[in-house]
């Protein structure tokens, strides 16, 4: 990883979003420029088309809400590769303008998922109306721009710092073991060809025959590949047929060729989605 190059990282959301925190932690002090996008489709598009971003940072699963199935399918259809991952604990904070008090708040704005994660906290404050918006960080930014002291936002500490907001309450999420896995996406032609990987992501279908999925997974077992994730999604236009997304760790990277050969013989439409180093878990 070139630590001197300023990497342009596309994220879904605005400055201060959890995607930006994940990007900063992943690049660990190396210079980056955040390119905000409204949707995950935009993130994938700018990476796939080399349209201004070097990489994309995308949430793919959450320890409470589960997999983001739409994002799995976006990746599978695009000419991008997973080149890295990072796990981040999601801490939701109640932010407001300097001088505001929680008793004076009339509304709190945030993304619907953030609101859902914090509803237990707001049972203590029934006078506060919870308003859904499209992004946590955008909610924080809007409050800073309008200066409204009777409106709060649920967002990250970084959003509070960037927009000059005070933290009225920290870590108000109900479940403190709330983690999101983010993946790094690059155009398949730009992914560095190094040997530092120990994790692989693939997608495939299997035939409607007894034991067909078992035969595919047996390949992993036979080569000491530890499956860390399996996710199925319906195949559009083919009722009751499913695409499987599988992540596995390789104890021996020289077994990669044999594993892929075995999967190609036991599955349909095998696609390698990425080879990368297993991600670090961050609490902040």
| Predicted local distance difference test score (pLDDT) of residue 236 | 86
| Predicted local distance difference test score (pLDDT) of residue 111 | 93
Q: Are residue 29 and residue 72 in the same domain, yes or no?
A: yes
The residues annotated as belonging to the active site are: 180, 182
Q: Are residue 120 and residue 235 in the same domain, yes or no?
A: no
| Predicted local distance difference test score (pLDDT) of residue 237 | 87
Q: Which residues contact 49 (CB under 8 A, 6 or more apart)?
A: none
Q: Are residue 22 and residue 148 in the same domain, yes or no?
A: no
| Predicted local distance difference test score (pLDDT) of residue 2 | 59
Does residue 270 lie within any of the structural domains? yes
Q: Are residue 65 and residue 104 in the same domain, yes or no?
A: no
Distance, in Å, from the CA atom of 221 to the CA atom of 199, rounded to the nearest integer, reads 15
pTM, to two decimals:
0.92
Distances in Å between the Cα of 95 and the Cα atoms of 84, 121, 182, 198 are 31, 14, 24, 40
Based on the structure, what is the number of domains in the chain? 3
- pLDDT tens digits, 137-191: 999 999 999 999 999 999 999 999 999 999 999 999 999 999 999 999 999 888 8
Residue 40 belongs to what domain range? Answer: 7-90+178-192
Which residues, given as ranges, of the chain have pLDDT below 50? none
Does residue 33 lie within any of the structural domains? yes
| Predicted local distance difference test score (pLDDT) of residue 189 | 85
């Amino acid at each position: 990883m070139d630590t001197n190059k300023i990497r342009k990282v596309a994220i879904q959301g605005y400055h201060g979003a959890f995607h930006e925190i994940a990007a900063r932690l992943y690049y660990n002090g190396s210079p980056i420029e955040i390119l905000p996008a409204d949707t995950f489709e935009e993130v994938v598009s700018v990476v796939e088309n080399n349209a201004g971003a070097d990489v994309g940072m995308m949430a793919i699963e959450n320890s409470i809400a589960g997999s983001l199935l739409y994002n799995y399918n976006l990746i599978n259809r695009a000419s991008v590769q997973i080149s890295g991952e990072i796990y981040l604990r999601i801490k939701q904070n109640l932010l407001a303008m300097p001088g505001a008090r929680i008793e004076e708040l009339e509304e709190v704005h945030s993304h619907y998922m953030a609101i859902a994660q914090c509803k237990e906290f707001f049972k203590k404050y029934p006078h506060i109306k919870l308003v859904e918006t499209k992004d946590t960080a955008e909610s924080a930014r809007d409050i800073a721009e309008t200066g409204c002291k009777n409106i709060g936002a649920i967002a990250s500490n970084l959003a509070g710092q960037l927009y000059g907001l005070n933290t009225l309450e920290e870590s108000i999420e109900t479940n403190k073991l709330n983690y999101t896995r983010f993946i790094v996406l690059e155009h398949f032609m730009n992914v560095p060809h190094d040997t530092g990987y120990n994790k692989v992501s693939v997608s495939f279908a299997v035939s409607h025959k007894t034991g067909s999925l078992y035969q595919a997974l047996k390949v992993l077992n036979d080569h000491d590949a530890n499956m860390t994730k399996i996710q199925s999604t319906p195949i559009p236009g083919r009722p009751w047929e499913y695409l499987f997304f599988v992540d596995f760790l390789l104890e021996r990277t020289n077994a990669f060729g044999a594993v892929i050969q075995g999967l190609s013989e036991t599955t349909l439409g095998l696609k390698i989605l990425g080879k990368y180093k297993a991600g670090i878990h961050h609490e902040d």
